[in-house]
Structure formats: C-alpha cells, structure tokens
Amino acid sequence: MVNTTFNRAAPQTQLFPVPAFTDNYIWLLSRAGHAVVVDPGESAPVEAHLAQQHLTLDAILLTHHHGDHVGGALALQKNTGARVYGPATESLPVCDQRLREGDAVVLENLDLHLEVLDIPGHTAGHIAYFGPFNQGKHLLFCGDTLFSAGCGRLFEGTPAQMLDSLGKLRALPLDTLVCCGHEYTLANLRWALQVEPGNAVLHQRWASAQEQRAKGLPTLPSTIGAELDINPFFRTQQDSVSRAAAAHIGQRLDSTLAVFTELREWKNNFK
C-alpha cells in the first residue's frame, strides 16, 4: 500500500490504493480525519483501513455497476452513513445521488471538487471523476475504462464509444494521476511491447513495473502523460501503432477507429 502526498503546508490529502480480491484497487482519499472511497468491491479492507487510521467515511464514489466495484457499497453505507454517488443510468445496489457528465461532487471536508465525465464503452453508463488534487496536480478515477498501457473490454459499449471516451481522458492535463480499478499493468505492457517493440519509453516502463511488482508495490497511479508515451489505445494515430495493427490483421486500416477496433481485438486474444 502506498501513500501519495504532495501538500506539506496545508492539511495533506492522502491517496491510498487499497487492495481487494485478486487484483482490484479500492481508491481511498483522506484528509483531516475524513475519507472518501472509490469503487469498493468489498467492504472489509476499507473498514479495516478506516479503523486503523481513525477515519470517518464521508462518501462512496462508484464508476460503474460491476460487482467487483460496487459489492461493498451497501455494507459501507450502512456501517458509516456515507453518501453514495454513482452513474445515472446503471443498476447499483445503493446510490443516493445519480451523476452524469456536467455534474460535480463537492466534498468540503476533503477539499475536493470532482467533475463527472461520461465514459461509456466498458459499460453503457460508466463515469469518471476528475479534479484538482493538492498543489495544482490533478486526479482521475477512471474505473475500468483506462488502465496503464491498456483499456477496458467492451462489455456493453461499442469501439466508437470507447474511442471517444479515451479521447476525453487523453485530453486531460499531463500531470493527472490515473487511478485505475485493477493491477493489470504487467499484462498490458507485455502486449504493448508486441505492438511497439521499438518504443524505448515502453521498455523503461516494463522494467520499472517489474521491479515494483517484485517488491509488492502497486504500479499505480500512472499519469496521463505517461500513458501518452506507452499506451497503444492512446497512440492510435502514431504510425508505429497503426502499422502494427494493420500488420496483425493483414489488411489496411483506413481510420483511427479501425485501428482502435483491431487493437482491442488483438488485446482480447493476447495470451
């Protein structure tokens, strides 16, 4: 578990990836004794962290309806009284305030103002939360839409929807901390190296991620800037990526959407 802090003068906002299940992260932000959690697939690890750190849970943020992201929300609400926020159009076990793009979540105790983005693709109503975090940096909770060196499978959406959603995230500030829902980085990097074997930054990230995991450390959060250098799904307009996708399928790909669609299919079947 890591503790990412940036502001040493004012009360610090701390960011923790709380491990859950096999490879999930439940993201927890805390400040001055208050906390918010994102996508609590189970309640026990969150409750243990709250008790250990003597924190009051103010809010629960949900990005999409999958059980490994919402399974602990009801128990946490019952045990803490925290307010639950979630996507407007998805079926959730509990939700006090439904959100869509243009809405915001304001948590004064944590000095957070998070904008809501609609990012369908992985699920039909998937949302993300984005906002400033300590000394001018930014924070993104993107659920299962964006991963380090990867993106989510298309369970309910279309390639065009996912490409548009990733375009929104790609345009965020380069310093934005990317808080993904799973520790998929090594598997994604293995595939990304097949797409761009000549990408030196990608090789460096592969080495550093292996070292992090060998020490039992998370590879997350990433940043938008880092993903622009290593993530094939962010790099569909790069010649090296489009050529690799075309070579893999054995035919010309005449649009960014076609490149993205082939990349997603390639990743789906990559072992």
Residue 136 above 90 pLDDT?
no
pLDDT number for residue 4: 46
pLDDT band, very low/low/confident/very high, at 117 (cuts 50, 70, 90): very high
Q: Is 181 exposed, middle or buried (0-12, 13-18, 19+ CB in 10 A)?
A: buried
Closest CA to 234 of 183, 172, 158: 172
pLDDT number for residue 135: 78
Q: Which of 34, 49, 65, 66 is catalytic?
A: 66
pLDDT number for residue 20: 97
Query: Which of 135-139, 150-154, 206-210 shows the lowest per-residue confidence on average (mean pLDDT)?
Result: 135-139
pLDDT number for residue 6: 40
Q: Is 64 a catalytic residue?
A: yes
Task: Specify binding-site residues for Zn(2+).
Answer: 64, 66, 68-69, 122, 144, 182
Instruction: Give the tens place of pLDDT for each residue, 170-203.
Output: 999 999 999 999 999 999 999 999 999 999 999 9
Q: Which of 34, 49, 65, 69 is catalytic?
A: 69
**In angstroms, rounded to a whole number, what is the distance separating the alpha carbons of residues 48 and 149?**
31
Instruction: Give the tens place of pLDDT for each residue, 42-54.
Output: 999 999 999 999 9
Instruction: Give the tens place of pLDDT for each residue, 160-179.
Output: 999 999 999 999 999 999 99
Q: Which of 64, 65, 126, 138 is catalytic?
A: 64
**In angstroms, rounded to a whole number, what is the distance separating the alpha carbons of residues 37 and 168?**
23
Q: Which domain holds residue 185?
A: 14-268
- Whether residue 5 is contained in a domain is answered as no
Query: How high does pLDDT run on average in the chain?
Result: 95
Task: Specify binding-site residues.
Answer: 64, 66, 68-69, 122, 144, 182
- Whether residue 4 is contained in a domain is answered as no
Residue 33 above 60 pLDDT?
yes
Q: Specify the DSSP element, H or E, that contains 257.
A: helix 256-268
- Whether residue 107 is contained in a domain is answered as yes
Q: Is 69 a catalytic residue?
A: yes
Number of domains in the chain: 1
Q: Radius of gyration over alpha carbons of the chain, in Å?
A: 18
pLDDT band, very low/low/confident/very high, at 5 (cuts 50, 70, 90): very low
- Whether residue 118 is contained in a domain is answered as yes
Report the CATH number at residue 242: 3.60.15.10
Q: Is 203 a catalytic residue?
A: no
Residue 3 above 60 pLDDT?
no
Q: Is 122 a catalytic residue?
A: yes
- Whether residue 3 is contained in a domain is answered as no
Q: Is 66 a catalytic residue?
A: yes
pLDDT number for residue 77: 98
Peptide bond into 218 cis (omega under 30): no
